[in-house]
C-alpha cells in the first residue's frame, strides 16, 4: 500500500515521482497536477525508493542538558522589575529613535503591549522583560531583595506582624520574674 505524499490518500493505480515546490514526492494521479515535472514510477522503483529513504539519516540536533528541575522557577521568583520600568522603557525607546510599533516588531509584540508597559498599566513577565532588555540595552530585572522577618522571642503569633501586644509584654515580664525567683 502506497500513500500519496501530498493528499495523504492511498494511491490506487499509477504512482508518479513529481517535483513540487522543489521537493521530489510520490503522488497520485490527482496530485500530479501540482507538479512542475513528473514521471510515472514502475513497480520496482517504489520499493527501491522506500529503501533509499530509510537509509538517509536525518541530522538531529544535539540535546542540551536540562538544568535540575525547579531551577527556572527558583530563578524566576528571585527576579523583580525595577522601579519605574515603564518610564525607563519609554526613555530607552525614544533615545534609540524607535516608535512603539517598531519596538513591538523587534520583540514580536503588538504596539499596544508596549504602550501599556510604558504607561505602567501592565507589568511584563520575565520573558518579555528580557526581550525588552536585549532590544533596548537596559536593565529591567534585578535580584529580589529578601525581606527579613522580625521574630520576637516569646511573642504570640498574632503579634508577629504588628509588633508586641500588652499581653506579650506581661507574659515576658512574668517569665523574667519566674527566672529571677528560680535563680535565687
DSSP string, the chain: --B-TTT--B--S--EEEEETTEEEEE-TTGGGG-SEEEEPPHHHHHHHHHHHHHPPPP-PPPPPPPPTTHHHHHHHHEEEPTTHHHHHHHHHHHTT--HHHHHHHHT--HHHHHHHHTTS----HHHHHHHHHHHT---EEEPPPPPPP--TT--GGGTTT---HHHHHHHHHHHHHHHHHH-
Q: List the pLDDT tens digit at each of the 184 positions of the chain.
A: 678 888 888 888 888 889 988 888 888 988 989 899 999 988 766 655 555 554 555 566 667 666 665 555 555 568 888 888 999 999 999 999 999 999 999 999 999 999 999 999 999 988 899 999 999 999 988 887 765 454 555 545 554 556 677 777 777 888 888 888 876 5
Query: Per-residue pLDDT tens for 82-93?
Result: 888 999 999 999
**Domain span(s) for CATH 1.10.260.40 in the chain:** 81-141
Question: Which CATH topology does 81-141 take?
Answer: 434 Repressor (Amino-terminal Domain) (1.10.260)
Considering the entire predicted model, what is its pTM?
0.42
Amino acid at each position: 500500500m502506497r500513500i500519496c505524499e501530498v493528499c495523504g490518500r492511498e494511491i490506487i493505480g499509477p504512482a508518479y515521482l513529481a517535483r513540487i515546490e522543489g521537493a521530489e514526492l510520490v503522488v497520485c494521479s490527482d496530485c500530479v497536477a501540482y507538479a512542475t515535472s513528473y514521471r510515472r514510477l514502475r513497480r520496482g522503483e517504489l520499493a527501491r525508493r522506500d529503501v533509499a529513504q530509510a537509509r538517509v539519516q536525518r541530522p538531529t540536533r544535539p540535546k542540551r542538558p536540562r538544568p535540575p528541575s525547579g531551577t527556572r522557577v527558583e530563578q524566576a521568583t528571585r527576579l523583580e522589575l525595577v522601579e519605574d520600568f515603564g518610564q525607563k522603557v519609554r526613555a530607552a525607546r525614544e533615545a534609540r529613535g524607535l516608535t512603539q510599533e517598531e519596538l513591538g516588531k523587534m520583540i514580536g509584540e503588538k504596539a499596544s503591549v508596549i504602550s501599556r508597559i510604558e504607561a505602567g498599566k501592565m507589568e511584563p513577565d520575565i520573558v518579555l522583560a528580557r526581550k525588552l532588555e536585549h532590544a533596548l540595552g537596559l536593565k529591567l530585572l534585578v535580584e529580589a531583595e529578601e525581606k527579613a522577618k522580625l521574630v520576637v522571642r516569646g511573642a504570640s503569633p498574632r503579634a508577629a506582624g504588628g509588633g508586641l501586644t500588652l499581653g506579650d509584654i506581661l507574659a515576658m515580664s512574668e517569665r523574667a520574674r519566674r527566672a529571677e525567683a528560680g535563680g535565687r
